[in-house]
Structure 1
């Protein structure tokens, strides 16, 4: 099972990915984590990435795709994986397709957690206010200004991959405003349908 989770920050991708990892026994691959791991392991791609990051640049698609290629070749990803935070652009989506085809694999489904972004911002603001009221530190991600910037970056960059996958017929839209349990049930229904097709 090779899945891609798409959705804005705060939509619940991380929560659902943890559950899917346990259910299917496949790893969740986060590009940020993989980049750090490749840099720490000093792999050829990791060294390239470190050089770019140290100079304050953005890691190129070529480097990110190389890191994904190395990671999905590892034993724990042989039966599948969940991609979170990749692909972020249509160029990355096309590179992923080519890479998987070379190994006779394909993406099985793209699950988009679609949310009302206005309500999402309200939810984050409330979470920050509740933390302050309880005398707890506010998570950096929950700072409304930081969160709105992350949301803008998602809408500008990553949201463009949704129409790409819609055209391929792989996209499954889930209402991310439901409860965690309801979202999980909706995802399970989509994946069960895939299992029945195989």
Structure 2
């Protein structure tokens, strides 16, 4: 199966991506993780990407799809993957199709902007381990310090409130045309689209996804 997860930043799609990967063994391709790995390396590509990320702007479609295609081909994921973070524009969706990166299932996680902002701006990260805290939902024992090491927690640049607002505007501007693109009969794979209410208990969302996949895997 070739699956894309759609949803605004903070909608919980990353959590569900891990659940699906663990349960079904589908390789996860996280565009955010790929970009963060690139940014850690000192290169021209790193500097180019940083300029976009730091201002909450989307990278050029051609650059994004080249990175995705190279990653898929290198890991031999052409026929089985879970893609989180791409496509974010209709241009990316079209470019993926043109390069033969086809999609079977689209899962869109829907949550109100107010809840997304609350979830996102309260996030705190322990960079070395990747541990994630939240000032309201999962606070550390001591303010802005990692529970295990006592090291300083940080706010990711794209979790700052003004950046989150920019990213939400970009998401809403692009999502309708992306869904319409995959819903058209002209799309080669007859992709199935599912809208997931993300304002629920994680276990309830897990169960809905299991039901969707059970029907698909028959």
Check conservation: 1:128, 1:139, Cα contact below 8 A: no
Q: Does 1:151 align with 2:168?
A: yes
Check conservation: 1:38, 1:67, Cα contact below 8 A: no
**Aligned match of 1:193:** 215
Q: What is the alpha-carbon distance in structure 2 between the residues aligned to residue 119 and residue 53 of structure 1?
A: 28
Structure whose residues are more often helix by fraction: 1
Relative to structure 1, is the Cα distance of residues 96 and 116 closer, same or farther in structure 2, using a 3 angstrom cutoff? same
Deviation at 1:144, TM superposition (A): 4.5
Check conservation: 2:9, 2:120, Cα contact below 8 A: no
**Aligned match of 1:68:** 68
What is the TM-score with the length of structure 2 in the denominator? 0.69
**Aligned match of 1:91:** 91
Relative to structure 1, is the Cα distance of residues 171 and 73 closer, same or farther in structure 2, using a 3 angstrom cutoff? same
Of 181, 193, 202, the residue aligned with 1:180 is 202
What is the TM-score with the length of structure 1 in the denominator? 0.75
What 5-or-longer segments of structure 2 have no aligned partner? 53-57, 123-133, 145-152, 186-190
Number of positions where the alignment pairs a residue of Structure 1 with one of Structure 2: 187
Check conservation: 1:35, 1:64, Cα contact below 8 A: no
Q: What is the alpha-carbon distance in structure 1 between the residues aligned to residue 5 and residue 167 of structure 2?
A: 17
Check conservation: 1:6, 1:112, Cα contact below 8 A: yes
Q: What is the alpha-carbon distance in structure 1 between the residues aligned to residue 162 and residue 37 of structure 2?
A: 29
CA offset digits 1:118-162 (Å, max 9, x no partner) = 344455578545667965328636655443343233223455423
**Aligned match of 2:143:** 136
Deviation at 1:172, TM superposition (A): 0.8
SS of the residue 2:206 aligns to: helix
Check conservation: 2:39, 2:47, Cα contact below 8 A: no
**Aligned match of 2:178:** 161
RMSD (CA atoms): 3.4
Relative to structure 1, is the Cα distance of residues 123 and 50 closer, same or farther in structure 2, using a 3 angstrom cutoff? closer
Deviates more, 1:135-144 or 1:65-74: 135-144
Q: Does 1:108 align with 2:104?
A: yes
What 5-or-longer segments of structure 1 have no aligned partner? none
**Aligned match of 1:33:** 33
Relative to structure 1, is the Cα distance of residues 145 and 195 closer, same or farther in structure 2, using a 3 angstrom cutoff? same
Deviation at 1:189, TM superposition (A): 1.4
